Amino acid sequence: MITTLLNYLANSSAITYIVLAHLSIYLIVTFWIFFYRNSALKILINNERKALEALTSRESKFSPLSALNKCSNNSNSKELLHACEINIIKDASSGISWMAIIASTSPFVGLFGTVVGILEAFAKFANETKVSFTVIAPAISEALVATAAGILVAIFAYTFHQILSRKVYELNVFLKAQSEIIIAKG
């Protein structure tokens, strides 16, 4: 496996290196955004869950850990609470759009690498009079590595995007429920 990979890299062109480097950067950014945003969202959701439980319990007070409380400064104003909800969700969802961009563009970056690889493979065979399938197949299969890499990056980016989007939605539900309770209690 490692020998095959090293052989592939030794026979690759500059475009292949650029495409694989680009996809590697995409993959690193995807994992970095996911782990950073996921941990931040877990903390936010946990704090807002506790704040909602405090509001619905006998205490009936705003939790000091709540981001909604920090933003609104214990205000019961519907407009201020709504503005705080929007601001918290905006901050919580930062970086998530990059996941969607990476998920949608990485297959095309990989496909570009594959097309260039196939063109280079056919250019190598242009001077030969007879080329068999056993000669063409390895060259084309090497070119398809870029597409596979692009699809792999897209799978991670799309999956992580969906997970983070769901967490932002969950946070939004907790914030809206708190706002409605606070407004109702006046």
Is the alpha carbon torsion for 170, 176, 179, 184 positive or negative? Answer: negative
Residue 118 confidence (pLDDT): 87
Q: Give the pLDDT band of residue 16 (cuts 50, 70, 90).
A: confident
Residue 66 confidence (pLDDT): 84
In whole angstroms, give the CA distance from residue 171 to residue 128. 63
pLDDT digits (tens, 9 = 90+) for 117-168: 888 888 887 777 787 777 787 778 878 888 999 999 999 999 999 999 999 9
In whole angstroms, give the CA distance from residue 30 to residue 79. 35
Amino acid at 124: K
In whole angstroms, give the CA distance from residue 36 to residue 29. 10
Please give the tally of structural domains in the chain: 1
pLDDT digits (tens, 9 = 90+) for 47-98: 999 888 888 886 666 677 888 888 888 777 888 889 989 999 999 999 899 9
Residue 5 confidence (pLDDT): 64
Residue 28 confidence (pLDDT): 97
What is the residue range of 52's domain?
Answer: 2-185
126, with CB counted inside 10 A (0-12, 13-18, 19+), is: exposed
Residue 1 confidence (pLDDT): 66
Q: Give the pLDDT band of residue 111 (cuts 50, 70, 90).
A: very high
